[in-house]
Chain A
Amino acid sequence: MTEIDASVTTPLAMGRTDVRSTREDRRRREQTQLGLWMFLGTVTMLFAAFTSAYLVRRGSIDWQSIVLPAALWVNTAALAASSVTLEGSRWAGRSGRVGPARLGMAATIVLGAGFFVGQVGVWQTLAAQGVFVPTSPHASFFYVLTGVHLVHLLVGLVLLVNALRSLAARGAGAIERAWDGPAATAATFWHFFGGVWLYLFFLLSSF
């Protein structure tokens, strides 16, 4: 029954093995996306728990807000730009243009790494001002939340590099199929944690 489904969406010229492997590919992709989204669901619960802890802890009398370094805006801009270049790269990849796709992906990695370095720079700025992890509860939360976010982002960088590598390994003919797997995974992951950062930035600066 599923056999027929697959042949409807695949060109008739394809052989039997092609049909099967395409179907297998598609199922794998769906599985990966499903698994990824479930993982992102657990991450959502993680940050929800941090948020409730933040709001509870904030009610205590020793809460003192720290001044967040302005460099965070630059970092945020870099991260936002990386999401744009990532989508640009995927768009180029889908229309079969390998060069621009590679370039966009590389730019995404550079911008992402820039965000990473920038966040570490923010920590150094704070430390130079005498704001350390235990200095105040707000500072503790700032370090913990940015730290946990950066750890996840490192995984995102690995996924981006993987996407770039798979892009480089395949010829232009196979680009569409090779493209969809690793890049789609990386994109879902990366945009999600971009969103998480916007949320954390809002939480840490507004509450």
Chain B
Amino acid sequence: MSQDSFIRRYVFSTDHKIIGIQYILTGFAMALVGAWLSVLIRLQLAWPLRLWPWLETLMPNGYLGGVMAPEFYVALVTMHGTIMVFFFISYVLVSGFGNYLVPLQIGARDMAFPFLNMLSYWIALLSALVMLASFLVEGGAAAAGWTAYPPLSAVASAMPGSGLGQSVWLLSMALFIASFTMSGLNIVATVFTLRAPGMSMWRLPLTIWSYFISAILGLLAFPPLTAAAIMLLFDRHLGTSFFLPGGMVVANQVLEHQGGSPLLWQHLFWFLGHPEVYVLILPALGIAADIMPVFTRKPLFGYRISVWSLIGVGVLSMIVWGHHMFVSGMSPFTGEYFSLATMLITIPMAVYGVNMMASLWGGTMRLTTPMLFALGALAFFGTGGFGGIFLGNATADMQLHDTYFVVGHFHLMIGGVTLLGTFAAVYFWFPKMFGRLMSPVLGRIHFWGTFAPFFTIFFAQHFLGLQGMPRRYYAFSTYEYLEGTQSQNVIITVVVLVLVAVQFVFAFNFVWSLLRGATASENPWEATTLEWTVASPPPHGNFGDAAPDVHRWAYEYSAEGQSSDYAPQTVTSSDVPVTA
């Protein structure tokens, strides 16, 4: 009886599909908050020191006297970064679609540890709520940046956000890491142990490979941040000096700390931080690459090379973290090493990108909404990756570090590729998740209203950076050399408002299609992977009693001499010859 109750099925469910959808909805709710924070940031940058009486009524602490408080600005920057990286992209793209897709695409009934999976979601939700609550504590939310560099993050009296806000931030991150670790363990164990008969590793769709590698990276990279966070808590509350050097003066008082190293935090943080960007971007690339063959009706180009590229990127991503620290007084020889390692990573990434482009070559392209978003992700990947070549070189980075060039670069990559990849995934799998089709017209409006503004904003920011505009500054009105950037900032802010407004088209399309969309068939895109061989939405347990038998790879399109132009992975070799 309890099996069928509403709460058991849709709230405290151990079904990976429900948990995936829960993650996705939670992540989108957090994205609304993150987007709202970015609007506030942009209003300040376009019209610094302007009076906003209506914002004061809304947020009296942030807008004392109607003008944005500088402390509030840094808290906004911190929380925008934290929420978008950890609570939007991680939840929707990694945990959300990861949960939904991994069992379905490998032919399993559920994840390896369903209960752990449910626990992971509820801890994740708690973590998000704790993070939001930090806006309400005394002194406001954390303000030391999403990287939480000491001393700002370590000395409670350093600034208002360094007090309770930073403690709450650390608590939320601890919960997040616990939840993300559970989720990662589950994905790796599921791929290892629950593949359907015939589903060898070399028949896994790239999507699954990307989740698999991303989960392993997360498992290896997060513990050093945990260690660092424990030491930071000791520095904050128990008077130790892991990260705090001697002779620091805060509020006219010399602190008792001595001998610690703020750079130690930076190393530990970026040992996580760099792999983390690959944890986020790899699934987007896997999904984009998998969507392309469906809408070009030809096999993916260079499947095995792409898998090896993903593995290579995963390995290299663990040894390049120092490129975030070129200006930290690092030895030039160390800098040279990190530059070289970073340049190396462009090789597998470029191979992967070229394989995606080659997959398009000569295909009969169908520009559906998911395809548009997948192509957009590829475009951002190319442009953003180009900026990375500049930043990866220590010599160029000395100039560009902490300018808007960096902001533009990482927004195109970890913001843009992942955002477009996420939308591609939503439009592509929405019919499977809810059994209904989304409106293609609204989808097109959403795509162009997202792609063009996003590119305008962040491509332009590269040039702000080249003009020397530093990031994290509250106002630029006192810098003569930056006077010329003012009008550019106004344009960017206007475009941001357009970008945010267009997202409501997506929200409307999502809700409207959920209620009124046309009914989707089992396989509306005529795709080959296993999830399209079951009903939309798939029943509890996905495949019924018998696991599906897999006979081929996931990219059997337009095989010669066949009546149908595609063969799902379950079609036997006697029916359609197996090409891989």
Contact = CB atoms under 8 A, between A and B. Distances in A.
B539 to A, nearest CB: 21
A34 to B, nearest CB: 5
A184 interface: no
Contacts of B238: 133-134
A45 B234 CA distance: 20
Interface residues of A, number: 32
| Chain B residues touching A, majority SS | helix
Contacts of B124: none
B503 interface: no
Contact of B228 (A2, A49, A134): A49
Contacts of A165: none
A202 to B, nearest CB: 18
Given A38-B189, A49-B228, A140-B234, A63 B219 contact: no
Contacts of B181: 39, 42
14 contacts: A31-B113, A31-B189, A35-B186, A35-B189, A38-B189, A42-B181, A42-B220, A45-B223, A48-B224, A60-B260, A62-B259, A140-B242, A144-B230, A148-B230
B258 A46 contact: no
Interface stretch (A50-58, A117-125, A172-180): A50-58
Nearest to B263: A56
A57 B264 contact: yes
B51 interface: no
A100 interface: no
Contacts of A131: none
B227 interface: yes
Contact of A38 (B185, B224, B228, B260): B185
A27 B109 CA distance: 14
B240 interface: yes
Interface in A137-158: 137, 140, 144, 148
Interface of A: 1-2, 27, 30-31, 34-35, 38-39, 41-43, 45-50, 52-53, 56-57, 60-63, 133-134, 137, 140, 144, 148
Contacts of A137: 240-242, 259-260
Interface in B189-219: 189, 192-193, 197, 219
B536 to A, nearest CB: 28
B241 A49 contact: no
A34 B189 contact: yes
Interface of B: 112-113, 116, 181, 185-186, 188-189, 192-193, 197, 219-224, 226-228, 230-231, 234, 238-242, 246, 258-261, 264, 267-268, 271
Most interface-central of A2, A56, A61 (chain B CB within 10 A): A56
A61 to B, nearest CB: 7
Given A31-B113, A42-B222, A53 B242 contact: yes
Given A31-B189, A39-B185, A56-B261, A45 B224 contact: yes
Contacts of B246: 62
Contacts of B192: 34
A39 B112 CA distance: 14
Given A43-B223, A49-B224, A140-B234, A60 B239 contact: no
Contact of B264 (A34, A45, A53): A53
A53 B222 contact: no
Contacts of A45: 219-221, 223-224
A34 B113 CA distance: 11
A1 B219 CA distance: 33
A1 B196 CA distance: 11
B189 A140 contact: no
Contact of A49 (B219, B223, B258, B261): B223
A42 B188 CA distance: 13
Given A31-B193, A49-B227, A133-B240, A56 B234 contact: no
A34 B186 CA distance: 10
Contacts of B260: 57, 60, 137
Contacts of B234: 133, 140, 144
Contacts of A27: 193
B196 to A, nearest CB: 11
Contacts of A52: 267-268
Contacts of B219: 38, 41-42, 45
B151 to A, nearest CB: 16
A144 B232 CA distance: 11
B344 to A, nearest CB: 22
| Chain A residues touching B, majority SS | helix
Nearest to A133: B238
Nearest to A56: B264
Most interface-central of B188, B226, B240 (chain A CB within 10 A): B240
B227 A46 contact: yes
A38 B215 CA distance: 11
A149 to B, nearest CB: 12
A133 B234 CA distance: 9
A179 B185 CA distance: 25
Contacts of B240: 133-134, 137, 140, 144
Contacts of B267: 52, 56
Contact of B261 (A2, A57, A148): A57
A135 to B, nearest CB: 9
A134 B241 contact: yes
Contacts of A57: 242, 259-261, 264
A3 to B, nearest CB: 10
B227 A2 contact: no
A35 B223 contact: no
B264 A62 contact: no
A34 B193 CA distance: 9
B224 A46 contact: yes
A144 B185 CA distance: 26
A35 B227 contact: no
A33 to B, nearest CB: 10
Contacts of A140: 234, 240-242
Nearest to B237: A133
Nearest to B264: A56
A41 B216 CA distance: 10
Contacts of B241: 62, 134, 137, 140
Nearest to B188: A38
Given A62-B241, A144-B231, 14 more contacts: A35-B185, A41-B220, A42-B181, A45-B219, A46-B223, A53-B227, A53-B242, A56-B267, A57-B264, A61-B259, A134-B239, A137-B241, A137-B259, A144-B230
Contacts of B264: 53, 56-57
A63 B259 contact: yes
A2 B197 contact: yes
A26 B192 CA distance: 15
A2 B195 CA distance: 12
Contacts of A148: 230
Contacts of A53: 227-228, 231, 242, 264, 268
Most interface-central of B188, B223, B228 (chain A CB within 10 A): B223
A42 B261 contact: no
A4 B260 CA distance: 62
Contacts of B242: 53, 57, 137, 140
Contacts of A30: 193
